[in-house]
Structure 1
Amino acid sequence: MDGVLVDSMSYHAEAWDIVLKTAGISIDKKIIYELEGANCRQVIDIILRQHNQIPTETEIRDLGRKKMEVFELIERVRPFDGMPELLETLKLKYQLAVVSGSNKKTVQTTLNTFFPDTFKVIVDGEETRIGKPSPEPYLRAIEKLGIPKNHCLVIENAPLGIRSAKGAGLRCIAITTYLSREFLKEADFIVDDHRELRKYLEREAERENDKGYNHVNTP
Protein backbone atom coordinates (compact mmCIF):
# COMPACT_ATOMS: atom_id res chain seq x y z
CA MET A 1 0.00 0.00 0.00
CA ASP A 2 2.52 2.60 1.20
CA GLY A 3 4.79 3.46 -1.71
CA VAL A 4 2.81 1.59 -4.37
CA LEU A 5 -0.75 2.86 -4.02
CA VAL A 6 -0.19 6.01 -1.96
CA ASP A 7 2.68 8.45 -1.47
CA SER A 8 2.96 8.15 2.31
CA MET A 9 6.40 7.02 3.44
CA SER A 10 7.78 10.50 4.15
CA TYR A 11 5.06 10.90 6.80
CA HIS A 12 5.80 7.48 8.30
CA ALA A 13 9.52 8.34 8.43
CA GLU A 14 8.84 11.71 10.04
CA ALA A 15 6.51 10.17 12.62
CA TRP A 16 9.06 7.51 13.55
CA ASP A 17 11.79 10.15 13.81
CA ILE A 18 9.71 12.28 16.18
CA VAL A 19 8.62 9.38 18.38
CA LEU A 20 12.01 7.66 18.59
CA LYS A 21 13.58 10.94 19.73
CA THR A 22 11.34 10.69 22.82
CA ALA A 23 13.18 7.44 23.56
CA GLY A 24 16.54 9.14 23.11
CA ILE A 25 17.18 7.68 19.67
CA SER A 26 18.08 9.69 16.58
CA ILE A 27 17.75 7.95 13.22
CA ASP A 28 18.62 8.52 9.61
CA LYS A 29 15.12 8.53 8.09
CA LYS A 30 16.42 6.39 5.23
CA ILE A 31 16.34 3.39 7.59
CA ILE A 32 12.53 3.67 7.67
CA TYR A 33 12.40 3.38 3.89
CA GLU A 34 14.66 0.33 4.02
CA LEU A 35 12.47 -1.25 6.73
CA GLU A 36 9.23 -0.51 4.87
CA GLY A 37 6.93 -3.50 4.98
CA ALA A 38 7.94 -4.57 8.47
CA ASN A 39 5.19 -4.18 11.04
CA CYS A 40 5.33 -1.70 13.90
CA ARG A 41 6.71 -4.18 16.42
CA GLN A 42 9.52 -5.19 14.07
CA VAL A 43 10.55 -1.60 13.33
CA ILE A 44 10.80 -0.75 17.03
CA ASP A 45 12.67 -3.95 17.86
CA ILE A 46 15.18 -3.57 15.02
CA ILE A 47 15.95 0.10 15.64
CA LEU A 48 16.22 -0.16 19.43
CA ARG A 49 18.51 -3.19 19.16
CA GLN A 50 20.68 -1.25 16.72
CA HIS A 51 21.10 1.25 19.56
CA ASN A 52 21.91 -1.48 22.09
CA GLN A 53 18.48 -1.47 23.68
CA ILE A 54 16.13 -4.42 24.09
CA PRO A 55 12.57 -3.09 24.01
CA THR A 56 10.04 -4.23 26.57
CA GLU A 57 6.47 -5.05 25.64
CA THR A 58 5.41 -1.78 27.27
CA GLU A 59 7.91 0.21 25.18
CA ILE A 60 6.79 -1.50 21.98
CA ARG A 61 3.14 -0.78 22.75
CA ASP A 62 3.73 2.83 23.83
CA LEU A 63 6.07 3.76 20.97
CA GLY A 64 3.74 2.13 18.45
CA ARG A 65 0.75 4.05 19.81
CA LYS A 66 2.63 7.35 19.80
CA LYS A 67 3.85 6.78 16.25
CA MET A 68 0.31 6.21 15.01
CA GLU A 69 -0.91 9.34 16.80
CA VAL A 70 1.86 11.49 15.30
CA PHE A 71 1.34 10.02 11.84
CA GLU A 72 -2.37 10.83 11.94
CA LEU A 73 -1.57 14.43 12.89
CA ILE A 74 1.01 15.12 10.17
CA GLU A 75 0.00 12.93 7.24
CA ARG A 76 -1.18 14.38 3.96
CA VAL A 77 -1.31 11.07 2.10
CA ARG A 78 -2.46 11.03 -1.51
CA PRO A 79 -2.62 8.32 -4.18
CA PHE A 80 0.10 8.30 -6.79
CA ASP A 81 -0.98 9.91 -10.05
CA GLY A 82 -3.06 7.55 -12.13
CA MET A 83 -3.35 4.83 -9.49
CA PRO A 84 -7.11 5.17 -8.82
CA GLU A 85 -7.82 4.95 -12.55
CA LEU A 86 -5.46 2.00 -12.97
CA LEU A 87 -7.12 0.07 -10.15
CA GLU A 88 -10.57 0.75 -11.59
CA THR A 89 -9.38 -0.92 -14.78
CA LEU A 90 -7.58 -3.80 -13.07
CA LYS A 91 -10.41 -4.78 -10.75
CA LEU A 92 -12.66 -5.52 -13.73
CA LYS A 93 -10.39 -8.42 -14.69
CA TYR A 94 -8.22 -9.30 -11.69
CA GLN A 95 -8.70 -10.18 -8.05
CA LEU A 96 -6.74 -7.56 -6.13
CA ALA A 97 -5.15 -7.90 -2.69
CA VAL A 98 -3.25 -5.52 -0.42
CA VAL A 99 -0.47 -6.92 1.78
CA SER A 100 0.77 -4.15 4.07
CA GLY A 101 2.94 -3.84 7.16
CA SER A 102 0.93 -0.84 8.37
CA ASN A 103 -1.50 -1.22 11.26
CA LYS A 104 -5.14 -2.12 10.64
CA LYS A 105 -6.51 1.37 11.29
CA THR A 106 -4.11 3.04 8.85
CA VAL A 107 -4.75 0.44 6.16
CA GLN A 108 -8.52 0.60 6.48
CA THR A 109 -8.59 4.40 6.55
CA THR A 110 -6.35 4.71 3.49
CA LEU A 111 -8.15 2.12 1.39
CA ASN A 112 -11.65 3.29 2.37
CA THR A 113 -10.72 6.89 1.57
CA PHE A 114 -9.02 6.40 -1.79
CA PHE A 115 -9.90 2.91 -3.08
CA PRO A 116 -13.29 1.77 -1.70
CA ASP A 117 -14.64 -1.57 -2.89
CA THR A 118 -11.47 -2.34 -4.80
CA PHE A 119 -9.63 -5.12 -2.95
CA LYS A 120 -10.97 -8.60 -2.37
CA VAL A 121 -8.35 -9.41 0.27
CA ILE A 122 -6.54 -7.16 2.75
CA VAL A 123 -3.72 -8.37 4.98
CA ASP A 124 -2.49 -5.67 7.38
CA GLY A 125 0.48 -5.58 9.72
CA GLU A 126 -1.55 -6.78 12.71
CA GLU A 127 -2.90 -9.89 11.01
CA THR A 128 0.20 -12.06 10.85
CA ARG A 129 2.50 -13.16 13.66
CA ILE A 130 5.59 -12.18 11.69
CA GLY A 131 5.65 -9.42 9.08
CA LYS A 132 7.80 -8.91 6.01
CA PRO A 133 10.43 -10.13 5.10
CA SER A 134 8.79 -13.33 6.32
CA PRO A 135 6.68 -14.92 3.54
CA GLU A 136 3.80 -15.27 6.01
CA PRO A 137 1.86 -12.11 4.93
CA TYR A 138 1.84 -13.10 1.26
CA LEU A 139 1.07 -16.73 2.06
CA ARG A 140 -1.93 -15.50 4.06
CA ALA A 141 -3.12 -13.44 1.09
CA ILE A 142 -2.82 -16.42 -1.26
CA GLU A 143 -4.76 -18.56 1.21
CA LYS A 144 -7.54 -15.98 1.39
CA LEU A 145 -7.68 -15.59 -2.38
CA GLY A 146 -7.66 -19.33 -2.90
CA ILE A 147 -5.52 -19.19 -6.03
CA PRO A 148 -2.33 -20.90 -7.25
CA LYS A 149 0.96 -19.08 -6.77
CA ASN A 150 1.78 -19.02 -10.46
CA HIS A 151 -1.32 -16.92 -11.07
CA CYS A 152 -0.05 -14.13 -8.80
CA LEU A 153 1.97 -11.02 -9.49
CA VAL A 154 3.21 -8.96 -6.55
CA ILE A 155 4.00 -5.25 -6.88
CA GLU A 156 6.50 -4.04 -4.28
CA ASN A 157 8.71 -1.04 -3.64
CA ALA A 158 10.95 -2.11 -0.74
CA PRO A 159 13.50 -4.88 -0.13
CA LEU A 160 11.69 -6.52 2.80
CA GLY A 161 8.51 -6.79 0.75
CA ILE A 162 10.37 -8.25 -2.21
CA ARG A 163 11.99 -10.89 0.02
CA SER A 164 8.60 -11.69 1.50
CA ALA A 165 7.06 -12.19 -1.94
CA LYS A 166 9.96 -14.25 -3.28
CA GLY A 167 10.03 -16.30 -0.09
CA ALA A 168 6.37 -17.12 -0.70
CA GLY A 169 7.29 -18.34 -4.18
CA LEU A 170 5.70 -15.44 -6.05
CA ARG A 171 6.73 -13.39 -9.04
CA CYS A 172 7.49 -9.81 -8.04
CA ILE A 173 7.83 -6.52 -9.89
CA ALA A 174 9.39 -3.57 -8.03
CA ILE A 175 8.87 0.16 -8.47
CA THR A 176 11.47 2.74 -7.46
CA THR A 177 9.27 5.15 -5.53
CA TYR A 178 11.62 5.79 -2.61
CA LEU A 179 14.65 3.55 -3.05
CA SER A 180 16.97 3.13 -6.03
CA ARG A 181 17.28 0.00 -8.13
CA GLU A 182 20.22 -1.32 -6.10
CA PHE A 183 17.87 -1.89 -3.14
CA LEU A 184 15.30 -3.69 -5.30
CA LYS A 185 17.50 -6.04 -7.30
CA GLU A 186 15.94 -9.19 -5.81
CA ALA A 187 12.73 -8.48 -7.75
CA ASP A 188 12.04 -10.22 -11.06
CA PHE A 189 11.61 -6.89 -12.84
CA ILE A 190 11.97 -3.20 -11.90
CA VAL A 191 10.06 -0.17 -13.20
CA ASP A 192 10.98 3.44 -12.49
CA ASP A 193 7.58 5.08 -12.09
CA HIS A 194 3.84 4.46 -12.10
CA ARG A 195 3.50 5.22 -15.79
CA GLU A 196 5.98 2.46 -16.56
CA LEU A 197 4.16 0.21 -14.10
CA ARG A 198 0.91 0.67 -16.00
CA LYS A 199 2.61 -0.16 -19.30
CA TYR A 200 4.14 -3.27 -17.76
CA LEU A 201 0.78 -4.48 -16.46
CA GLU A 202 -0.85 -3.84 -19.82
CA ARG A 203 1.83 -5.96 -21.51
CA GLU A 204 1.34 -8.67 -18.90
CA ALA A 205 -2.41 -8.69 -19.51
CA GLU A 206 -1.85 -9.17 -23.22
CA ARG A 207 0.78 -11.87 -22.69
CA GLU A 208 -1.27 -13.84 -20.18
CA ASN A 209 -4.65 -13.31 -21.81
CA ASP A 210 -4.87 -16.86 -23.05
CA LYS A 211 -3.48 -18.46 -19.89
CA GLY A 212 -6.29 -17.58 -17.51
CA TYR A 213 -4.10 -15.59 -15.08
CA ASN A 214 -6.34 -13.11 -13.31
CA HIS A 215 -4.87 -12.25 -9.93
CA VAL A 216 -2.65 -9.36 -8.87
CA ASN A 217 -1.43 -8.69 -5.31
CA THR A 218 -0.28 -5.20 -4.33
CA PRO A 219 1.40 -4.38 -1.12
Structure 2
Amino acid sequence: MLKALIFDMDGVLVDSMPFHAAAWKKAFLDMGMVIQDGDIYAIEGSNPRNGLPLLIKKARKDPEAFDFEVITAIYRQEFNRIFKLKAFDGMKECLELLKSRYLLSVVSGSDRFIVNGIIDQLFPGIFDTVVTGDDVLNSKPDPDPFLKAVELLNVGRKECIVIENAILGVEAAKKADIYCIGVPTYVEPSELHRADLIVGNHQKLLEHLINLEPAFNPEPAFRRRK
Protein backbone atom coordinates (compact mmCIF):
# COMPACT_ATOMS: atom_id res chain seq x y z
CA MET A 1 0.00 0.00 0.00
CA LEU A 2 1.30 3.44 -0.94
CA LYS A 3 1.93 5.72 2.05
CA ALA A 4 4.63 8.22 1.03
CA LEU A 5 6.00 10.16 -1.95
CA ILE A 6 9.64 11.23 -1.95
CA PHE A 7 10.61 14.06 -4.30
CA ASP A 8 13.94 15.24 -5.60
CA MET A 9 13.94 19.05 -5.58
CA ASP A 10 16.04 20.45 -8.43
CA GLY A 11 14.46 19.52 -11.75
CA VAL A 12 11.40 17.92 -10.16
CA LEU A 13 9.88 20.60 -7.92
CA VAL A 14 11.75 23.66 -9.18
CA ASP A 15 13.36 24.52 -12.51
CA SER A 16 16.70 25.32 -10.93
CA MET A 17 19.45 23.21 -12.48
CA PRO A 18 20.45 25.78 -15.15
CA PHE A 19 21.21 28.20 -12.29
CA HIS A 20 23.16 25.55 -10.38
CA ALA A 21 25.15 24.80 -13.54
CA ALA A 22 25.94 28.46 -14.19
CA ALA A 23 27.03 28.97 -10.58
CA TRP A 24 29.30 25.92 -10.56
CA LYS A 25 30.86 26.96 -13.88
CA LYS A 26 31.59 30.43 -12.42
CA ALA A 27 33.16 28.89 -9.31
CA PHE A 28 35.35 26.59 -11.39
CA LEU A 29 36.37 29.38 -13.75
CA ASP A 30 37.43 31.49 -10.77
CA MET A 31 39.64 28.56 -9.73
CA GLY A 32 41.15 28.27 -13.20
CA MET A 33 39.06 25.34 -14.43
CA VAL A 34 36.49 24.88 -17.19
CA ILE A 35 33.53 22.49 -16.97
CA GLN A 36 30.47 22.01 -19.15
CA ASP A 37 26.74 21.91 -18.39
CA GLY A 38 26.65 18.23 -19.31
CA ASP A 39 29.32 17.44 -16.71
CA ILE A 40 27.14 19.01 -14.01
CA TYR A 41 23.88 17.40 -15.13
CA ALA A 42 25.59 13.99 -15.16
CA ILE A 43 26.28 14.20 -11.41
CA GLU A 44 23.06 15.99 -10.43
CA GLY A 45 21.90 14.75 -7.06
CA SER A 46 25.31 14.30 -5.47
CA ASN A 47 26.43 16.64 -2.71
CA PRO A 48 29.55 18.84 -3.09
CA ARG A 49 31.63 16.49 -0.94
CA ASN A 50 31.06 13.64 -3.40
CA GLY A 51 30.45 15.56 -6.62
CA LEU A 52 33.29 18.08 -6.63
CA PRO A 53 36.10 15.51 -7.05
CA LEU A 54 34.30 14.17 -10.12
CA LEU A 55 33.93 17.63 -11.65
CA ILE A 56 37.54 18.55 -10.91
CA LYS A 57 38.72 15.38 -12.62
CA LYS A 58 36.52 16.32 -15.61
CA ALA A 59 38.49 19.57 -15.73
CA ARG A 60 41.68 17.46 -15.86
CA LYS A 61 42.89 18.62 -12.46
CA ASP A 62 43.82 16.91 -9.19
CA PRO A 63 41.00 17.21 -6.59
CA GLU A 64 43.55 17.24 -3.76
CA ALA A 65 44.96 20.52 -5.08
CA PHE A 66 41.75 22.45 -4.37
CA ASP A 67 39.87 23.63 -1.30
CA PHE A 68 36.29 22.37 -1.66
CA GLU A 69 35.02 24.93 0.84
CA VAL A 70 36.36 27.80 -1.27
CA ILE A 71 34.80 26.45 -4.47
CA THR A 72 31.49 25.84 -2.71
CA ALA A 73 31.47 29.33 -1.21
CA ILE A 74 31.94 30.92 -4.65
CA TYR A 75 29.21 28.67 -6.08
CA ARG A 76 26.78 29.53 -3.28
CA GLN A 77 27.35 33.27 -3.65
CA GLU A 78 26.86 33.14 -7.42
CA PHE A 79 23.79 30.90 -7.15
CA ASN A 80 22.15 33.31 -4.71
CA ARG A 81 22.95 36.20 -7.04
CA ILE A 82 21.46 34.73 -10.23
CA PHE A 83 18.78 32.32 -9.00
CA LYS A 84 15.19 33.07 -9.99
CA LEU A 85 12.78 31.06 -7.87
CA LYS A 86 10.24 29.17 -9.96
CA ALA A 87 8.28 26.03 -9.24
CA PHE A 88 7.13 23.95 -12.19
CA ASP A 89 3.61 24.92 -13.26
CA GLY A 90 0.95 23.19 -11.19
CA MET A 91 3.42 21.61 -8.77
CA LYS A 92 2.32 23.45 -5.62
CA GLU A 93 -1.36 22.74 -6.28
CA CYS A 94 -0.57 19.08 -6.95
CA LEU A 95 1.43 18.77 -3.72
CA GLU A 96 -1.34 20.38 -1.68
CA LEU A 97 -3.75 17.77 -3.01
CA LEU A 98 -1.32 14.89 -2.44
CA LYS A 99 -0.64 16.00 1.14
CA SER A 100 -4.17 14.95 2.11
CA ARG A 101 -3.42 11.40 0.91
CA TYR A 102 0.26 10.71 1.61
CA LEU A 103 3.30 11.62 3.64
CA LEU A 104 5.58 13.84 1.54
CA SER A 105 9.35 14.21 1.63
CA VAL A 106 12.11 16.06 -0.23
CA VAL A 107 15.51 14.45 -0.80
CA SER A 108 18.08 16.77 -2.39
CA GLY A 109 21.83 16.75 -2.83
CA SER A 110 21.99 20.53 -2.45
CA ASP A 111 23.13 22.04 0.84
CA ARG A 112 20.73 22.66 3.71
CA PHE A 113 20.72 26.45 3.39
CA ILE A 114 19.64 26.38 -0.26
CA VAL A 115 17.12 23.54 0.09
CA ASN A 116 15.36 24.93 3.16
CA GLY A 117 15.28 28.41 1.65
CA ILE A 118 13.54 27.18 -1.50
CA ILE A 119 11.12 24.89 0.32
CA ASP A 120 10.18 27.58 2.85
CA GLN A 121 9.41 30.08 0.10
CA LEU A 122 7.62 27.88 -2.43
CA PHE A 123 6.13 25.02 -0.43
CA PRO A 124 5.68 26.12 3.20
CA GLY A 125 4.09 23.49 5.41
CA ILE A 126 3.89 20.91 2.62
CA PHE A 127 6.64 18.41 3.41
CA ASP A 128 6.80 16.11 6.41
CA THR A 129 10.57 15.57 6.13
CA VAL A 130 13.48 17.14 4.23
CA VAL A 131 16.83 15.43 3.62
CA THR A 132 19.65 17.58 2.21
CA GLY A 133 23.20 16.97 1.07
CA ASP A 134 24.38 17.96 4.54
CA ASP A 135 22.34 15.25 6.25
CA VAL A 136 24.12 12.17 4.87
CA LEU A 137 27.75 11.25 4.34
CA ASN A 138 27.17 9.36 1.10
CA SER A 139 25.07 11.20 -1.48
CA LYS A 140 23.28 9.87 -4.55
CA PRO A 141 23.95 7.45 -6.28
CA ASP A 142 24.31 5.80 -2.87
CA PRO A 143 20.93 4.86 -1.39
CA ASP A 144 21.60 6.63 1.92
CA PRO A 145 19.57 9.82 1.25
CA PHE A 146 16.42 7.87 0.37
CA LEU A 147 16.90 5.39 3.20
CA LYS A 148 17.21 8.38 5.55
CA ALA A 149 13.89 9.73 4.27
CA VAL A 150 12.21 6.34 4.74
CA GLU A 151 13.52 6.23 8.30
CA LEU A 152 12.28 9.74 9.10
CA LEU A 153 8.87 9.05 7.55
CA ASN A 154 8.63 5.80 9.55
CA VAL A 155 7.38 3.81 6.55
CA GLY A 156 8.63 0.80 4.61
CA ARG A 157 10.51 1.02 1.34
CA LYS A 158 7.67 -0.85 -0.38
CA GLU A 159 5.26 1.85 0.81
CA CYS A 160 7.06 4.69 -1.04
CA ILE A 161 7.55 6.12 -4.48
CA VAL A 162 10.56 8.25 -5.43
CA ILE A 163 10.18 10.94 -8.10
CA GLU A 164 13.51 11.78 -9.74
CA ASN A 165 14.85 13.55 -12.80
CA ALA A 166 18.56 12.78 -12.40
CA ILE A 167 20.58 9.76 -13.46
CA LEU A 168 22.26 9.43 -10.06
CA GLY A 169 18.94 9.93 -8.29
CA VAL A 170 17.28 7.09 -10.15
CA GLU A 171 20.28 4.88 -9.43
CA ALA A 172 20.09 5.75 -5.73
CA ALA A 173 16.38 4.94 -5.58
CA LYS A 174 16.91 1.55 -7.21
CA LYS A 175 19.82 0.75 -4.86
CA ALA A 176 17.43 1.56 -2.01
CA ASP A 177 14.94 -0.89 -3.57
CA ILE A 178 12.25 1.80 -3.91
CA TYR A 179 9.84 2.21 -6.83
CA CYS A 180 11.00 5.17 -8.93
CA ILE A 181 9.26 7.47 -11.40
CA GLY A 182 11.65 9.30 -13.72
CA VAL A 183 10.93 12.61 -15.42
CA PRO A 184 13.60 13.61 -18.00
CA THR A 185 13.82 17.34 -17.27
CA TYR A 186 17.39 17.92 -18.38
CA VAL A 187 18.49 14.55 -19.82
CA GLU A 188 17.28 12.17 -22.48
CA PRO A 189 14.58 9.69 -21.33
CA SER A 190 16.88 6.78 -22.19
CA GLU A 191 19.33 7.96 -19.53
CA LEU A 192 16.70 7.25 -16.85
CA HIS A 193 16.13 3.70 -18.10
CA ARG A 194 16.53 2.19 -14.62
CA ALA A 195 13.37 3.93 -13.40
CA ASP A 196 10.27 1.76 -13.00
CA LEU A 197 8.24 4.32 -14.93
CA ILE A 198 9.33 7.22 -17.13
CA VAL A 199 6.88 10.06 -17.80
CA GLY A 200 7.56 12.37 -20.71
CA ASN A 201 7.24 15.74 -19.01
CA HIS A 202 5.99 17.51 -15.91
CA GLN A 203 2.40 17.76 -17.08
CA LYS A 204 2.26 13.98 -17.46
CA LEU A 205 3.98 13.59 -14.09
CA LEU A 206 1.34 15.71 -12.35
CA GLU A 207 -1.48 13.80 -14.03
CA HIS A 208 0.03 10.50 -12.97
CA LEU A 209 0.55 11.58 -9.35
CA ILE A 210 -2.96 12.98 -9.01
CA ASN A 211 -4.43 9.74 -10.34
CA LEU A 212 -2.43 7.53 -7.96
CA GLU A 213 -4.43 5.64 -5.36
CA PRO A 214 -3.24 4.60 -1.88
CA ALA A 215 -4.05 1.02 -2.89
CA PHE A 216 -1.30 1.17 -5.55
CA ASN A 217 1.45 -1.36 -4.89
CA PRO A 218 4.80 0.40 -5.43
CA GLU A 219 6.75 -2.78 -5.98
CA PRO A 220 9.96 -2.17 -7.99
CA ALA A 221 9.69 -3.46 -11.55
CA PHE A 222 12.61 -5.86 -11.35
CA ARG A 223 10.91 -7.63 -8.43
CA ARG A 224 7.53 -7.78 -10.19
CA ARG A 225 9.13 -9.67 -13.08
CA LYS A 226 10.44 -12.47 -10.85
Q: TM-score, normalised by structure 2?
A: 0.89
Q: 1:157 aligns to what?
A: 165
**What is aligned with 1:30?**
38
Q: Distance in 2 between matches of 1:51 and 1:115?
A: 36
User: Separation in 2 of the partners of 1:8 and 1:70?
Assistant: 13
For residues 118-137 of structure 1, the aligned pairs below 5 Å read 118-137=126-145
Count residues with an aligned counterpart.
Answer: 210
Gaps of 5+ in 1: 214-219
1:176 to 181, 184, 188: 184
Q: Which moved more, 1:182-191 or 1:39-48?
A: 39-48
Q: How does 1:14-163 map to 2 (within 5 A)?
A: 14-56=22-64, 59-163=67-171
| Bigger shift: residues 26-35 or 96-105 | 26-35
More deviation, 51-60/76-85: 51-60
Aligned partner of residue 79 in structure 1, secondary structure: coil
Q: Secondary structure at the match of 2:18?
A: helix
Shift of 1:186: 0.9
> What secondary structure sits across from 2:163 in the alignment?
strand
Q: Which residue of 2 aligns with 1:217?
A: none
Q: Distance in 1 between matches of 2:142 and 2:65?
A: 21
1:53-90 residue CA offsets vs partner (Å, 9 max, x unmatched): 33349610110111011000000120000000000000
Structure showing greater relative contact order (alpha-carbon pairs closer than 8 Å, 6 or more residues apart): 2
1:199 aligns with 2:223: no
What's the offset of the Cα at 1:25? 1.2
In 1, Cα distance between the equivalents of 2:73 and 2:42? 21
1:120 alignment partner AA = D
2: CA distance, partners of 1:18 / 1:62:
12
DSSP 3-state at the match of 1:26: coil
| Cα distance in 2, alignment partners of residues 37 and 114 from structure 1 | 20
In structure 2, the partner of 1:10 is 18
Q: Is the 8 A contact 1:99 1:122 kept in 2?
A: yes
**Cα distance in structure 2, aligned partners of 1:57 and 1:174:** 36
CA RMSD of aligned residues (A): 1.6
Q: Look up the equivalent residue of 1:51 and give its one-letter code.
A: A
Q: What percentage of residue pairs aligned between the two structures are identical?
A: 37
Whether the aligned pair in 1 keeps the contact of 2:109 and 2:140 (CA below 8 Å) is yes
Gaps of 5+ in 2: 1-8, 219-226
Give the TM-score normalised by the residue count of structure 1. Answer: 0.91
1:41, 1:64 within 8 Å by CA — same for their partners in 2? no
Q: 2:106, 2:191 → 1: CA distance? A: 22
